[in-house]
Amino acid sequence: MAYVSNAADRSRRTNKATSLESTNVLGLSTVFESRHLRRLGHPCPPIPCEHTGRRNIDGLLLLHAGDCDTSGRCRYDPTWESLDQRPLPAWYDEAKFGIFLHWGVFSVPSFAGAWFQEYWRGNRTDVVEFMKNNYRPGFTYADFAAQFTAEFYNPDEWAEIFNASGARYVVLTSKHHEGFCNWPTKYSFNWNAMDVGPRRDLVGDLANSIRKETTIKFGLYHSLFEFVNPMFLQDQKNEFKTQDLVKFKTMPELYELVNLYKPDVIWSDGDWMAPSTYWNSTEFIAWLYNDSPVKDTVVTNDRWGKDATCKHRGFYTCHDRYNPGVAQNHKFEDATTVHKTYWGFICNAKLTDFHTIQNPLTDLITVVSCGGNFLLNAGPTPDGMIGPIYEERLRQMGQWLKVNGDAIYGTRPWATQNDTATPGVWYTSKKSSTGISVYAITLSWPVGDKLELAVPHPGPATTVTLLGYPGPRTYISPCQDTLDSKLAPQQE
């Protein structure tokens, strides 16, 4: 449910959401409207709500290092000090919700996730038993590639599902740690989707459909290292004092991907064993920001070396499923899964292995309230389908966002993230023509159809509405210590 408040304060519905505008917005999704909205603790007479305590998100500030021309375009040096000054393109912070896709040869065994190759190589007991019981002696990991057929892959259908989910960007695996490339690269002979398996350009086909059918931004995940690449293993043996993998494979692939597909997100991974100097990360990112075909729109994450994670570049991921639960000073992203454990398709998954819609919705709300983006992962099948459970969760996200999207898209953290009177209420805010809108989003329908909020303190002109419901449906007592919102009975 979500509430909204305005210099006229309004409220709407979030799990429901409420919005306050001055003014300010809340979320059941409910909306408050009033010219004056105060936080609890001030005397009852209204005062102008000119400041809402909105936090600045590092990376959105217009700070630059390097040379800037008269138009304001800057060039960045290949150093973290310089690159960290580049503003985060506005589209990413406004988008809030994206879809992650883990798809590759690991989707064929569909057992133990995207790290299947490494688990098998490391003799993990359940993986060894799985291979012994299901495949002939002498079967190798490379033999799985021919079974990665993608015969039912219809990128137009995928685009329709993603559009219905309410996602504003999609990040597809171009290459995971197994090294298999989902595009016809010049740098991976016979270990790419054109030479073996699908016999088509999986990356290019989805990029074209996304751009043809939707306004969703297209991004790519790319692993810097590969489990069994001899060049990497030799570089690792040499304590990363040599860079054969980087020079002859990793960096050529990244430049090729950007020039061919012009992604708006580069989601790097596989960096943690070596420093960013080994990966030549700053040189690539400087080119990306200065001279690439996506220099004005592209965003990057922080996984560019063991010295860079959670410290440098556009948005922080820090670790998988990163949800700090408190407001952050730097833009971050929570990448998480519909499956409770694995990122790729799992053939022996049970219904209880998947999150209900309540889990990703709660994550979305809490992450956005704290200033982050939410990236929800689905694992397509080896024959190219988005499975029914994944499709259902994505469409459910879209159904909720269709009602409550005002409390999510384009919002910023408010001065307070949680309410002190009612657990499970999260706040977001947004600029409006009259000031600031504040949304209060509650994770469950309130007992007795009454939502009590202690943090916002409305003035006499405040009104409250519920997102998705016409007209005011609330009662407000402006001189009490809490704001009580009376809602229409919950519809079954």
pLDDT tens figures, 8-37: 333 333 355 554 443 333 335 555 544 334
Q: For position 468, what pLDDT does the model report? A: 86
Q: What percentage of the chain reaches a pLDDT higher than 90?
A: 71
Q: For position 447, what pLDDT does the model report? A: 84
How far apart are the C-alpha atoms of 183 and 309, rounded to whole Å?
Answer: 27
DSSP state of 246: I
Q: Please choose, from the candidates 445, 481, 446, 404, the residue with its C-alpha nearest in 3D space to the C-alpha of residue 17.
A: 404
How many angstroms separate the Cα of 463 from the Cα of each of 432, 466, 487? 16, 10, 13
Q: Please choose, from the candidates 415, 329, 476, the residue with its C-alpha nearest in 3D space to the C-alpha of residue 24.
A: 415
How far apart are the C-alpha atoms of 318 and 324, rounded to whole Å?
Answer: 10
Sign of CA dihedral 114, 160, 400, 389: negative
Residue 53 pLDDT more than 60? no
Instruction: At 398, list the tokens.
Output: 């879209």
Q: Please choose, from the candidates 483, 457, 485, the residue with its C-alpha nearest in 3D space to the C-alpha of residue 473.
A: 485
How far apart are the C-alpha atoms of 86 and 313, rounded to whole Å?
Answer: 8
Q: For position 69, what pLDDT does the model report? A: 74
How does residue 256 score in pLDDT terms, banded at 50, 70 and 90? very high
- Residue range 230-242: mean pLDDT, rounded: 98
DSSP state of 318: -
Instruction: At 51, list the tokens.
Output: 């400041």
Contact present, 361 and 393 (Cβ < 8 Å) = no
Q: Please choose, from the candidates 319, 325, 327, the residue with its C-alpha nearest in 3D space to the C-alpha of residue 301.
A: 319
How does residue 67 score in pLDDT terms, banded at 50, 70 and 90? confident
Instruction: At 58, list the tokens.
Output: 């590092």
Instruction: At 120, list the tokens.
Output: 């098998």
The model's pTM: 0.88
